[in-house]
Structure 1
């Protein structure tokens, strides 16, 4: 299943910020006039949705292994250690994607306002007069001579 179709904890916020449901945002993001912030926000949202799905899978596996009606002889400390490592990695990824998305949404231009290109001013290159220029060391540019 595509990450676009998975739910994420950021969906409501993206809907509020960009003013459209997430599926519509994905449609908007592929248009030439789409803002780079929308594209990046949806990219991070896709990563977040996958990380959250991983967290849920590991959580569900641990719950199943620890169910009260489960035979205790089936418990494996090694499996639970591995699940704890996977859960930690998935939670770290989720937290990182959430933080990155929060930063992006906090610093992006308001929706509907495209970022303006930086104004450039034309500057003329001027050379210093020879009397003011820094002295050139005598060894600068000197070729080494090969002595037999």
Structure 2
């Protein structure tokens, strides 16, 4: 399943910020020239979808291993330690993506202040000329200093 089809904990915030559903935002980004903020937001959202899927996967594995109908002899403290480390890593990734996405949404310009077309910067043309060569008595002669 594509990250476009997965829901995330920040989909509502994205939809409110950009005024369209997540599916419509991905369609706009694929077919139109859109602002850099939307591209970044969708990229972060895609990373967030994967991170949240990882959190859910570890959580579900822990729940299954701790199920009340499981044999107590099947419990493994070592497996639970591994799962705790994996969960910590997955949550750290998720928290980082949430913070970055929230920061982007908080600092981007309001919809009525965004340019209709992406900003294009003119590339300055650099023109430089080499300084004139020093005049010497003989063409091509090199002076050397001898002690």
TM over 0.5: yes
Is residue 17 of structure 1 aligned with residue 17 of structure 2? Answer: yes
**Partner deviation per Cα, 1:35-70 (whole Å, 9 max, x = no partner):** 110011010001111111110110010001001111
**What's the offset of the Cα at 1:116?**
5.1
Partner SS for 2:2: coil
Residue segments in structure 2 that go unaligned for 5+ positions in a row: 123-143
Residue segments in structure 1 that go unaligned for 5+ positions in a row: 120-143
Give the alignment of 1:1-148 within 5 angstroms.
1-111=1-111, 113-114=114-115
Structure 1: 4+ residue segments shifted above 6 A:
144-147
Task: Kindly tell me the number of residue pairs found equivalent between the two proteins.
Answer: 125
TM-score (norm 1): 0.76
Instruction: Report which stretch shifted further, 31-40 or 75-84.
Output: 31-40
**Partner deviation per Cα, 1:79-104 (whole Å, 9 max, x = no partner):** 11110000000000000000000111
TM-score (norm 2): 0.76
CA distance in 2, matches of 1:38, 1:61: 34
Partner SS for 1:7: coil
The verdict on how the C-alpha distance between 1:31 and 1:145 changes in structure 2, with shifts beyond 3 A counting, is farther
Higher RCO (Cα < 8 Å, 6 or more apart):
2
**Partner deviation per Cα, 1:107-137 (whole Å, 9 max, x = no partner):** 1122251275689xxxxxxxxxxxxxxxxxx
